[in-house]
Amino acid sequence: MSATKASRIGEETRIDKVNAELVTLTYGTIVAQLCQDYDSDYQEVNKQLEKMGYNIGMRLIEDFLAKSGVGRCANFRETADMIAKVGFKIFLNVAPTVTNWTSDNNQFSLIFDENPLADFVELPDDGRAQDELWFSNILCGVLRGSLEMVQMQIEAHFVSDVLRGDDTTEMRVSLIRYIEDEMPPEED
Amino acid sequence: MAAPPRHVSMLSISNSNAGTPQSASSDKPQTPQPPSTPQQASGLRVPSNRKTIYDRHLNRSRNAELSRASFAYLFAEMVTYAQRRVTGIQDLEKRLNEQGYPLGLRLLDLLFYRSTSTSSSALSSSSTSSSPPNRPLRILPLLHLIHGPLWRLLFQRSADALEHSVSPDTPNEYMITDNDPLVNTYISVPREMNMLNCAAYIAGVIEGVCDGCGFEAKVSAHNQPTEMWPSRTVFLLRFGDSVMEREKVLERSGIK
Amino acid sequence: MSYYFTILSPTDTPIFNIAFGTSKGGGDGIARFRFPDTAQYMNQFIIHSSLDILEEAQWTNGGMYLKHIDTYPPASAYISAFLTPSGTRFLLLHQPPQLPTSGSSSTLGASSLLASGTTRSSSSVAANPTSAQTEEAVRQFMNEVYESFVKTAMSPFYRQGMEIRSPVFRGKITAAGKKWL
């Protein structure tokens, strides 16, 4: 499927809406709570956020397939467009840019111009949060969880975030393997 | 509200305090911690375009919408996570309430900011009002603020009912009803927790709004299903004695 | 005119302080309090002694901007207040410059003398702490502070009563002071 077609699906998919700020503020509440519970151990907070995202992703994919009506992607490049232009569009109403492909087409970056999760947010001024916390790390987990449900094992992590003082917010996504490739061989 | 010895707290301004959010276990009023003097500059880095929270207009996301499913997934994770760290329904509801509380304080300021900064007031029901809104001084306007503007900000509609306790023993009790609370829409509560109402989160928001305005109150969420509205929830607001006392004084002075 | 502006949490914790002078009428924006050695102490003391009046005004006037609420004649200090709906207080102390003919104990006399233009300040904002123009200028200043304050408070990591250390915030308050006062 072409990238333009993917954008059209993303634009046209009808979904129930809520006030964006309710989502933003609730996510902020979650992250702040984790920082408090883990005593500002930001590595651990990142891990917990990723885990929450993974749980969400596993359930969200069904919803995604039902809402978008899209079928199987032919390759990882198509998957990337689907994530950026349909997935993010439906669930976060943003369409990050897909870029920085590796030559083997197994790794790309998502650049977020907008990130509703981070609206209103200023990281704690404790000399550590800006070096250690990935505020929106839940999104990495969402990608990992949902793609695993469609037989793709991936790894995702943020490499920069405007909340840390970087100029862009960028997530790096790598395909590790197609899970069906590793299915045990059929018995003779 | 607690009234610490003023002159003491004011003049001992030179104590040092890092003031990290994690040092506070709850956002509810606590012992004041004087900040350090001279004030340390913030060590936060900003992007080269210098964009910070102060450069983003507060109305920018005012009418923005997001998928309802996204909220439901997030909120369900929040409840599941909270559940792992507590024992029992009461604890869980208390925790959700405490997470909503600081949100109430924030939304209160946001609501008033928006109604002063734009011609179409977020607080006023009549479109003709152009003067800045008033802070609620009496219980009734406070309740209208919650039932109307707060609900519209969060859920894009007003709450369904607002009632005063009819019992002479509990004149300090008021009820706000939501027939179909968003926070319960996608949450399937495990059977062993069927008394749980996740709207405790919203109860916390309401409590934050009340406390912020100077109306000390306890707010709880209760399942009151009807045939038509299976997840109908009543928020019970119980105002403290000091609030009721002040109410009488203000009534006598003709303050509305 | 010299200004001392402070933000107090609902439990009276000072979370932000700044001193500045008028930028109107050729002012250089530098605070020149009458008792420079004890200004910091005095200003805080004066602001604090106005809190009881503020709490009274809080329940009779539902506005956020409560205007000029208190005067401390010994230092010719005027206090204006703004109360956010969530209970945070913005307090501005203003002190007109020292008169050549000092000794006037009446605040009314002091302000009318100042308004007649015996000092280098010509703008009414800089000269008369209780005039309608001053009230309006302070209101505009307070509204701008409020906007920046709400932005601070909206961050999920900000908790009520935390000191505001952001240099960007300080910059915004300085700019608002320059613009309106």
Which tokens sit at A130?
A: 């800006």
Which 1-30 residues of chain C touch chain B by CB within 8 A?
9-17
- Residue C119 scores a pLDDT above 50: no
Q: Please, are residues C5 and C18 in contact by the beta-carbon 8 Å criterion?
A: yes
**Whole-number CA gyration radius for chain B:** 20
Task: Summarize pLDDT for B135-192 with one digit per residue, the tens.
Answer: 999 999 999 999 999 999 999 999 999 999 999 999 999 999 999 998 877 666 666 6
**pLDDT classification of A121: cutoffs 50, 70, 90:** very high
Greater confidence, A1 or A147?
Answer: A147
H/E stretch holding B236 reads strand B233-239
Confidence of residue B249 (pLDDT cuts 50, 70, 90): very high
For residue B93, pLDDT over 80 is answered with yes
For B88, the token pair is 């029992």
Q: What is the pTM of this model?
A: 0.84
Closest-CA distance of chain A to residue B27, Å: 11
Burial class (CB in 10 A: 0-12, 13-18, 19+), C173: buried
d(CA C52, CA B10): 14
- Is the pLDDT at C101 greater than 70? The verdict is no
Inter-chain CB proximity A23 and B74 less than 8 Å: yes
Of B14-23, B38-47, C18-27, which range is least confident? B14-23
Residue A86 contacts residue A68 (beta carbons within 8 Å): yes
Interface check for A66 against chain B (CB to CB < 8 A): the answer is no
**Exposed e or buried b per residue across B1-30, where buried means at least 16 C-beta atoms within 10 angstroms of its C-beta:** eeeeeeeebbeebeeeebbbbbebeebebe
What is the average per-residue pLDDT within C81-103? 82
**Where residue B51 falls among pLDDT bands split at 50, 70, 90?**
confident
Residues 22-41 in B contacting A (C-alpha not used; CB under 8 Å) = 22, 24-25
Residue type, C124: S
| Confidence at C111, pLDDT banded by 50, 70, 90 | very low
Q: What's the rounded Cα separation, in Å, for the pair C68 and C111?
A: 14
Q: C74-102 burial by CB neighbour count: b if 16+ within 10 A, else e?
A: ebbbbbbbbbbbbbbbbbbbbbbbeeeee
**Which two three-digit tokens encode residue B118?**
């734009």
Rounded percentage of chain C residues whose pLDDT exceeds 70: 83
Are the Cβ atoms of A35 and C157 closer than 8 angstroms?
yes
Asked if residue B61 lies in contact with residue A21, where contact means CB atoms within 8 angstroms, the answer is yes
Structure tokens at B25: 């276990």
Chain centre to alpha carbon of residue C34 = 16
Average confidence (pLDDT) over C94-114: 53
Q: Is A17 on the interface with B (CB under 8 A)?
A: yes
- pLDDT at residue B187, as a whole number: 67
d(CA B167, CA B172): 10
Instruction: State how far the Cα of A77 lies from the Cα of A101, in Å rounded to an integer.
Output: 9
| pLDDT on residue B23 | 41
**Residue A123 corresponds to which amino acid?**
L
C157:A29 CB<8 A: no
Burial of C8 (0-12, 13-18, 19+ CB in 10 A): buried
| pLDDT interval class at B102 (50, 70, 90) | very high
Residue A2 banded pLDDT, cuts 50, 70, 90: low
CB C154 to CB B56 under 8 A? no
CB contact under 8 A, B66 and A39: no
Chain pair A-C, CB pairs under 8 angstroms: 25
Gap between the Cα atoms of A67 and A69, Å rounded: 6
Strand, coil or helix: what is A172?
A: strand
Q: What is the pLDDT of residues A11-41, one digit of tens each?
A: 666 668 888 999 999 999 999 999 999 999 9
Residue with tokens 């603020």: B145
Residue of A14, A17, A22 to mutate, interface with B, max B Cβ within 10 Å: A22
Give the whole-angstrom CA distance, residue A86 versus residue A70.
Answer: 9
Q: What rounded mean pLDDT belongs to chain B?
A: 80
Going by pLDDT thresholds of 50, 70 and 90, the confidence category of residue B117 is: low
Could you give the 3-state DSSP secondary structure of residue B222?
A: strand
Which of A20, A93, A130 is the closest to B44 by Cβ? A130
Which residues partner with A108 through β-bridges? A173
Q: Under CATH, which architecture does the B89-252 domain have?
A: 2-Layer Sandwich (3.30)
Closest CA to C159 of A117, B107, B22: B22
Q: State the Cα–Cα distance between residues C148 and A156, nearest whole angstrom.
A: 35
Q: Say which range, B46-55, B91-100, C164-173, has the weakest mean pLDDT.
A: B46-55
Q: Are C75 and C42 in contact (CB under 8 A)?
A: yes
Which chain B residues are closer than 8 Å to C46 by Cβ?
none
pLDDT digits (tens, 9 = 90+) for A125-145: 999 999 999 999 999 999 999
Tokens at A173, concatenated: 């996504």
Q: Which residues make beta-bridge pairs with B65?
A: A19
In terms of CA atoms, which chain C residue is nearest residue B207? Answer: C86
Chain A residues near any Cβ of chain C (below 8 Å): 25, 28-29, 31-32, 35, 120-125, 129
Query: A125 in helix, strand or coil?
Result: coil
C106-111 own/partner pairs: CB under 8 Å, 24+ apart: C106/C73, C107/C71, C107/C73, C107/C76, C110/C76
How is residue B232 written in tokens?
């109908």
**Which residue of B6, B105, B116 is in closest CB contact with C143?**
B116
Other CB atoms within a 10 A radius of the CB of residue A120 amount to 24
Structural domains present in chain C: 2-180 (3.30.450.70)
Please give the Cα distance from A183 to B121 (Å, whole number): 61
Q: Which of A125, A131, A138 to mutate to test the interface with B (most CBs of B within 10 A)?
A: A125
The residue among B1, B10, B17, B22 with the most chain C CBs within 10 A of its CB, best to mutate, is: B10
Summarised one tens digit per residue, pLDDT across range C39-84 is: 778 888 888 889 999 999 999 888 999 988 888 887 788 999 999 9
Concatenating the DSSP letter of every residue in chain C gives: -EEEEEEE-TT--EEEEEEEE--GGG--S----SSGGGHHHHHHHHHHHTHHHHHHHHTT---SEEEEEEEEGGGTEEEEEEE-TTS-EEEEEEEPPPPSS-----HHHHHHHHHTT-SS--SHHHH-TTSHHHHHHHHHHHHHHHHHHHHHHHSTT--TT-----HHHHHHHHHHHHHH-
Residue that has been written with the tokens 């207080």 in this structure: C89
Q: Higher model confidence: residue B240 or residue A66? A: B240
* Residue-wise pLDDT tens digits, A40-72: 999 999 999 999 999 999 999 988 888 888 888
C157: nearest CA in chain B? B21
Angle, helix A42-68 to helix A20-37, in steps of 10 degrees:
150
- In the numeric block, the tokens 């104990």 are attached to C105
Where do the domains of chain B lie? 89-252
Contacts of B204 (CB under 8 A, 6+ apart): B96, B97, B98, B99, B100, B101, B103, B104, B219
Closest-approach residue (CA) in chain A for B47: A165
User: Residue C88: is its pLDDT beyond 60?
Assistant: yes
Q: What percent of chain C has pLDDT above 90?
A: 44
- The shortest C-alpha distance from A37 to chain C (Å) reads 13
Strand partners, C92: C5, C80
Residue B121 Cα to chain centre, angstroms = 20
* Predicted confidence (pLDDT) at residue B227 exceeds the cutoff of 90: yes
Q: Which residue has the tokens 């003067």?
A: B131
pLDDT at C43: 86
ipTM for this prediction: 0.88
Give residue B75's pLDDT band: very low, low, confident or very high (50, 70, 90). very high
The first and second tokens of residue A84, run together, are 């950026």
Residue A28 Cα, gap to closest chain C Cα (Å): 5
Compute the average pLDDT of residues A83-103: 93
B116/B135 Cα distance (integer angstroms): 12
- By mean pLDDT, which of B4-13, B188-197, C5-14 is the weakest? B4-13
Quick check: A11 contacting B, CB < 8 Å? Answer: no
Tally of CA atoms within 13 A in the half-sphere of B30 that contains its CB: 13
Structure tokens at A24: 């933003």
Q: Are the beta carbons of B134 and C155 separated by less than 8 Å?
A: no
Instruction: Work out the average pLDDT over C102-108.
Output: 43
